[in-house]
Amino acid sequence: MKPINVGLLGIGTVGGGTWDVLSRNADEIQRRAGRAIRISLVADKDVARAKKIVKGKAKVISDGAALVRSPEIEIVVELIGGTTIAKELVLEAIRHGKHVVTANKALLATHGNEIFAAAQKKGVMVAFEASVAGGVPIIKALREGLAANRIEWIAGIINGTSNFILSEMRDKGIAFEQALQDAQSRGYAEADPTFDIEGHDTAQKLAILASLAFGIKVDQSAVYVEGISSIASEDLEWADELGYRVKLLGVAVRTDIGIEQRVHPTMVPKDTAIAQVMGVTNAVTVDADAITPITLVGPGAGGMATASSVVSDIGDIARGVRTAPFGRPTGRLTVSKKAPMQRHEGGYYIRLLAVDKPGTAATIAKRLAQQNISLESIVQRHRGERPHGGDVPGRSSEPVPVILITYATTEDAVRKALAAVDRDKVVLGKPQVIRIEKN
């Protein structure tokens, strides 16, 4: 069979990785795909740099629009990022009957429905394994491997930057700001880290996973988002003491009132597979009706790892695989019925700084009881202090941390109870609230 010609839009880190993987493992990939895969055209603004990489083995141009219209190209690999030019070029490629492989989560989270509808109309593939969790084949697992299942719950550590920061804070007992600086100095965080640490990157990826898992249209705006910048070292220490680890999770879950999609710092039991995932590693756990949870763990970023997923997608297309991008025809995707966050049900970790005067604990307990919140545990002491440590000089004047772990309750009840506690003026500052995920 004749080689399949691939056009590469952008030859930066992932594009360069794709070039390398395809060159290095060419024989192997050809054997698996049944035909040779050849990058015959590269479009990059920096033509000189691109030429240095391809060393005369592919034509290099600066005009992406010319690439997506080139008659010889069968597959367009979009690695330029962003949502403006990338969108135009991808739609133009589809109009010209090209299959598309992309690593662009922002593009799919924002314009996925439009792009997939266009692709379906033209009968071409849009493949995007690389858009979520880098080298981990989670898209394929959801779309095909677990296709027999009614998925109930999916949760992922899908932002390496945040997981690195939380891991460093825990392992070294350092503050958020210092861990962020460490991440920046290692190249794991951007100069402006907002997108990663405030959960927006996770939200985009979650919207894609949720669409696949539940057969709903991609809708980033349906995702509740909370980042990790408010997490203190002491939260991680308390978590440890109470048997948990804190992770920035993207969670999508089927509830009676719709699909709940949320991104927030989460306490997960220490003995779960996801709790063990440290550093920049990614992991996704899927729970479904027919199975106990399945977890995929692996590299979430990096040029070669992401390229591995890009090339896997190219291989599928070369082998003739044709699947609907979200595992079913776009017309069959339902609009997500958004389960509002106030209705979220689960356990909560609450850390309050209580003024140390008689009746404080009773007041807090009363406010929780009024919202029908039951407590699994309550700890009122400085960390490491013995429960009955005797009199400590000056202790009565200092505020004392109070840690509450609730049984399953609702977001709404927790918010109301804490508002009442605030009005009672028995706590100082803003309460820290971290949701617990038991799966």
Residues between 149 and 178 with contacts to its own copies, criterion CB under 8 A? 149-150
Query: In sequence order, what DSSP letters do the residues of 137-153 get, joined into one string?
Result: -HHHIIIIITTTS-EEE
Residues between 211 and 250 with contacts to its own copies, criterion CB under 8 A? 215
Work out the number of other CB atoms within 10 angstroms of the CB of residue 271: 9
Residues between 111 and 140 with contacts to its own copies, criterion CB under 8 A? 129, 135-137, 140
Cβ proximity to its own copies: between 256 and 271 the closer is: 271
| Contact mark string toward its own copies, 335..374, x via CB under 8 A | ----------------------------------------
In whole angstroms, give the CA distance from residue 160 to residue 228.
13
**Phi, psi values for residue 127, rounded to 5°:** -115, 145
List alpha helices for 319-405, DSSP H.
Answer: 360-370
Q: Does 321 bind its own copies (CB under 8 A)?
A: yes
Residues between 16 and 35 with contacts to its own copies, criterion CB under 8 A? 17, 21-22, 24-25, 28-29, 31-34
Could you say which of 57, 62, 63, 147 contacts its own copies (CB under 8 A)? 147
Shortest reach from residue 400's CB to its own copies, in Å: 35
List alpha helices for 60-190, DSSP H.
Answer: 64-69, 85-95, 105-122, 138-140, 160-172, 176-185
Q: Does 320 bind its own copies (CB under 8 A)?
A: yes
Residues between 274 and 303 with contacts to its own copies, criterion CB under 8 A? 276-278, 281, 288-299, 302
205 is catalytic: yes
Q: Does 78 bind its own copies (CB under 8 A)?
A: no
Q: Does 143 bind its own copies (CB under 8 A)?
A: yes
Could you say which of 81, 145, 258, 401 contacts its own copies (CB under 8 A)? 145
Torsion of CA 226, 228, 233, 239, to 10 degrees: 60
Shortest reach from residue 148's CB to its own copies, in Å: 3
- Distance, first Cα to last Cα, the chain: 48
Q: Does 141 bind its own copies (CB under 8 A)?
A: yes
| Strand spans (E) along 213-290 | 224-225, 244-255, 258-269, 281-288
Beta bridge partners of 102: 78
Could you say which of 16, 327, 346, 431 contacts its own copies (CB under 8 A)? 327
Shortest reach from residue 17's CB to its own copies, in Å: 7
Residue 323 makes CB contacts below 8 A (sequence gap 6+) with 125, 143, 144
Q: Does 382 bind its own copies (CB under 8 A)?
A: no
Shortest reach from residue 186's CB to its own copies, in Å: 15
Q: Which is the catalytic residue, given 98, 105, 205, 247?
A: 205
In the block, tokens 């999770």 appear at 249
At residue 251's C-alpha, the angle toward residues 245 and 255, to 5°, is: 125
Work out the number of other CB atoms within 10 angstroms of the CB of residue 340: 12
Q: Does 401 bind its own copies (CB under 8 A)?
A: no
Longest CA–CA span in the chain (Å) reads 84
In whole angstroms, give the CA distance from residue 183 to residue 351.
27
Please identify every residue annotated as catalytic.
205
Write out the residues near its own copies by the rule CB under 8 A: 17, 21-22, 24-25, 28-29, 31-34, 129, 135-137, 140-141, 143-150, 215, 271, 273, 276-278, 281, 288-299, 302, 304-305, 307-312, 315-316, 319-324, 327-329, 332
